[in-house]
Amino acid sequence: MMEKTHSGYSNKKIWAVGGGKGGVGKSLVSANVSICLALMGHKVITIDLDLGGANLHTCLGLPIPKTTLSDYISGKVTNFEDLLVATPITNLKIISGAQDELGMANLKNLHKHQLIQKLHELEADYILFDLGAGTAFNTIDFFITADKGILVVLPEPTSIENTYRFIKTVFYRRLKMIEGIEVVEPLIDEALNAKITTGQLSPSDLIRKISQDHPELGAKIRHELASFKPNLIMNQVRSQADIDIGYSIQSICRKYFGIEMPFPGYLDYDQSVWQSVRKRKPLLVEFPNSKLVTNFDRIVHRLIES
């Protein structure tokens, strides 16, 4: 049994699952990574942080829960733990996301920080954030607060392009939160507006330039960004060429952003995914012989080890 502290479990891990595009399988990954962790004996809480399009409950075979984040944001529910809903999987509970876009999309800064604090205070071995699509600051800030970020990508041009946009937004959002960064903000804005294909000032070029002109600030930035290592999961893989896209993304991120991007694995294309959604049954439970069981097992073990 893990040692508990006043703020939860002493070795608690928070993972955020995001991506730049809708429909890439974030909820599928969140639900089944959660199931894997729970079946390994860990206490898991997964939170649907999609802004108005919450569907994590469907992937876990649950009806729409009676209480959701909307109720907490609006003040209808005051005790945050009352939002927890049991699932058919032992050790796994969820908090369902806002069912109306108004509640979460208009989340004010103060409320966002209060919500983040409440999420971090939950008692579990693993807490997973199932994030909405896109690069809204609410989504990016939830991703940044996690111990480990996971990006789900399809082997399609639009998904890949939106993944780079997501990484770029997180990169600069983290940069702008660093104390003393104001002195180089014009330089940051110039790099932020540069396109990835133009050969203009890249993020890695930017850090080098800041380090030359402001060594102390450069050291601070390098220290802050050293922990930015989002994990990549390729979904709906049909060929070796699809898998190789993951390695290409790794290489480009190392060269362009100057960051390491672990690639813990991929998910084979499998028709059991839509069949499980239609049946409203958890994929790993309904189709134990699916290739995806092996895929998820490998990915989860690598995520834990890293």
Record the pTM: 0.90
**Whole-number pLDDT of residue 75:** 85
**Whole-number pLDDT of residue 8:** 46
Range 79-85, long-range pairs (CB < 8 A, 24+ positions):
80/118, 80/121, 80/122, 81/122, 84/45, 85/57
DSSP element (H, E) containing 14: strand 13-18
* Ranges of the chain with pLDDT below 70: 1-10, 51-54, 98-106, 195-199
**Whole-number pLDDT of residue 51:** 60
Residue 212 dihedral angles phi and psi, to the nearest 5°: -70, -45
Residue 180 dihedral angles phi and psi, to the nearest 5°: 90, 5
**Whole-number pLDDT of residue 299:** 97
Answer left, alpha or beta for residue 101, where phi above 0 means left and psi between -120 and 50 means alpha: alpha
Q: Which domains does the chain have, with CATH numbers?
A: 13-297 (3.40.50.300)
